[in-house]
């Protein structure tokens, strides 16, 4: 399934400058794993010991995946995933 993934500006050096990357998978985990296969430098930056790092937020169609089923959240064709730095606001 084709999923669009938004890449935050300072991370685009690891995605050949792409703001939006195409990825596939049936869950958010699968989508991010596939993204990591395409751009290996991203994986270690997004994950620590198999978990999304503390200061990274992942959204599926504008909803934070922590309010859904986390990395196990199912995705379908046309969904959009966004990776957004969490260190903001307050």
Partner 1 sequence: MASFVRGLKCRLCGKLYPVEPTNFCTDDFGPLEVDYDYDAIKSVLTREAIAARPFNMWRYRELLPLDEAPLVGLQVGGTPLVRANRLAAILGVSRLWIKNDAVNFPTLSFKDRVVAVALSKAKEFGFNTVGCASTGNLANSVAANAASAGLEAYIFVPADLERAKILGTSVYGANVIGVRGTYDEVNRLCTQVAFKYGWGFVNINLRPFYAEGSKSMGFEIAEQLGWKTPRHVVAPMAGGSLIGKIQKAFQELALLGLIDQPRCSFYGAQATGCNPISDAVKTGKETHRPVRKPNTIAKSLAIGDPADGYFAAKVIRESGGWSEDVSDPEISEAMALLAKTEGIFAETAGGVTVAVTRKLIEQGRIPRDEDIVLCITGNGLKTQDAVAGCLTEPAVIGTSLEEFEPLLDRSREGQPLLV
Q: Footprint of partner 1 on this chain (CB under 8 A)?
A: 8-11, 13, 45, 48, 53-57, 59, 62, 64, 66-67, 84-90
Q: Which is nearer to partner 1, 16 or 62 (CB)?
A: 62
Q: Which is nearer to partner 1, 78 or 85 (CB)?
A: 85
Least separation in angstroms between residue 69's CB and partner 1 is 14
- Biggest CA–CA distance in the chain, Å, is 37
Least separation in angstroms between residue 90's CB and partner 1 is 2
Least separation in angstroms between residue 59's CB and partner 1 is 7
């Amino acid at each position: 399934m084709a999923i669009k993934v938004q890449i935050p500006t300072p991370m685009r050096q690891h995605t050949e400058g792409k703001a939006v990357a195409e990825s596939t998978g049936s869950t958010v985990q699968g989508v991010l794993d596939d993204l990591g296969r395409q751009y290996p430098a991203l994986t270690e930056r997004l994950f620590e010991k198999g978990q999304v790092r503390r200061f990274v937020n992942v959204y599926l169609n504008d909803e934070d995946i922590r309010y859904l089923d986390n990395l196990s959240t199912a995705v379908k064709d046309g969904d959009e995933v966004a990776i957004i730095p969490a260190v903001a606001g307050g």
